[in-house]
Structure 1
Amino acid sequence: MSSAPDLSPIADADWPEAVADLLPGFAGQLNVYRTMAHGPDLLRAWAPLRQHVVKDTALGPARSEVVILRTGHALGSPYEWAHHVVRARACGLSDRRIAALRGPVEAMEPEDALIAGAVDELFGRKALSQDTQARLTALVGVQGMLDLIATVGFYSVLGYLLNSAGTPIDHDIAEALERDPLEG
């Protein structure tokens, strides 16, 4: 039986030439993309979708973080959870609100409950109900609803990759959470 490949984050000195142009940008900033660089073609294809899902989403930063945190929790991804606790705080989410995203939707603020419930439906039912689609559309529009679905899919792929590779949480994020642990 062969052993599993080493998917440790790739150091600058070993960075694949095929994606050398991505190293100074987003790909060189986080361990998740340094892990993904083991598949340069995947990393290259990932870049435009990342731009939309992470930067240009119709959900806006705070709602996007709610989706990502609930997705990271559902996947049991310590990397995604830690990184997005820090990002959610930067977007103005309180520790109480962030911590609630690990629990039952009934204990969340109404908007978070709708969004987290939609994430749960995607994991559980593999589709959004007609009622959830209507409620999300009223809240964030059709593009926002589609972006929510895409965000769950995007971060699911990242979560599977991170969990499979055992990618370590980036040092600055680990330090930030050590200095200021999540309350609640």
Structure 2
Amino acid sequence: MSRWPEQRLPAPDPSTYNERQREIHDAIASGPRGGVRGPLAVWLHRPELAAKAQDLGRYCRYDTVLDPKLSELAILVTGRVFGSEYEWQIHKGHALKAGLSAEIIEEIRLNRRPDFNDAMEAVVYDVSRAAHETRNIDDALYARAIDILGEQALVDLVGMLGYYTLISLTINIFRVPPMGDNPTPELSDE
């Protein structure tokens, strides 16, 4: 028996899709994600939301000025803050592949601030945590982020944090279950 509660709103049955749901499903499935899973599948109940969120998600995931390692760092922080197991499972491997160290990933999983050797990683982590914990950043952190990342990257980072907040809320509220039988230890317990 699973320790995860039953999903509240499963994805719509593809055999019952209307024309717009089929169109959005096919557009998402044929893109870089290669399929429609998790929160994207839940959004198909409202195909226009799925379409708009998919567009924003594609930008946030693939087209920002942030290095993929920094993007994945921000996504993992968001997944950790929200306890979104599904998001963590998807992005841990992407973060490793993008070059984020296993030690940093483990510290984030344990809900501890990693020791960073890279100023960009440190400021992305600090902005991400502050944004989620206080829904703001103070003047000193803002100045540091502008100095280290620049305006464009900071705008992209804030947009990405907003998008992955939407993802995490969808996962949590509709109880999108983790994949398989190997959830990340302790991620959802805190």
Higher relative contact order (CA 8 A, sep 6+): 2
Partner of 2:85: 78
- Out of 117, 129, 143, the position equivalent to 1:134 is 143
TM-superposed CA distance for 1:105, in Å, is 2.3
Contact 1:16 1:37 in 2 (8 A): no
Q: For the residues of structure 1 that align with 2:116 and 2:28, how far apart are their CA atoms?
A: 32
Alpha-carbon shift at residue 140 of structure 1 (Å): 2.1
CA distance 1:89–1:13, change in 2 (3 Å): farther
Q: Is the 8 A contact 2:12 2:44 kept in 1?
A: yes
Could you tell me how far apart the structure 2 residues matched to 1:134 and 1:72 are?
Answer: 25
1:99 to 87, 90, 106: 106
Give the ranges of 4+ consecutive aligned residues of structure 1 lying more than 3 Å apart after TM superposition: 106-111
CA RMSD of aligned residues (A): 2.4
Closer, same or farther: CA 109–16 of 1 in aligned 2, 3 Å:
farther
Which of these residues, 134, 139, 158, is aligned with residue 125 of structure 1?
Answer: 134
Identity %: 24
Question: Which of 36, 41, 47 is the aligned partner of 1:40?
Answer: 47
- Indicate which of 18, 21, 25 corresponds to 1:19: 21
Q: Greater helix percent: which structure?
A: 1
Give the structure-2-normalised TM-score.
Answer: 0.79
CA gap of 1:131–1:62, structure 2 versus 1, over 3 A, is same
The residue aligned with 2:64 is 57
Residue of structure 2 in register with 1:7 after alignment: 9
Give yes or no for contact 2:84–2:168 (8 Å, CA) kept in 1.
yes
Q: 1:29 to 1:106 in 2, by over 3 A?
A: closer
Whether contact under 8 Å (1:66, 1:101) holds in the other structure is no
TM-aligned CA deviation for residue 91 of structure 1: 1.3
Question: How many pairs does the alignment contain?
Answer: 172
Structure 1 residue corresponding to 2:162, chosen from 145, 153, 162: 153
Counterparts of 1:60 and 1:122, CA distance in 2:
20
TM-score, with length taken from structure 1 = 0.81
User: Which runs of no fewer than 5 residues in structure 1 stay unpaired?
Assistant: none
Q: Distance in 2 between matches of 1:110 and 1:84?
A: 20
- State the 1:106 CA deviation: 5.3
CA distance in 2, matches of 1:18, 1:121: 38
Specify every segment of 5 or more residues in structure 2 that has no aligned partner in the other structure, as ranges. Answer: 1-6, 30-34, 186-190
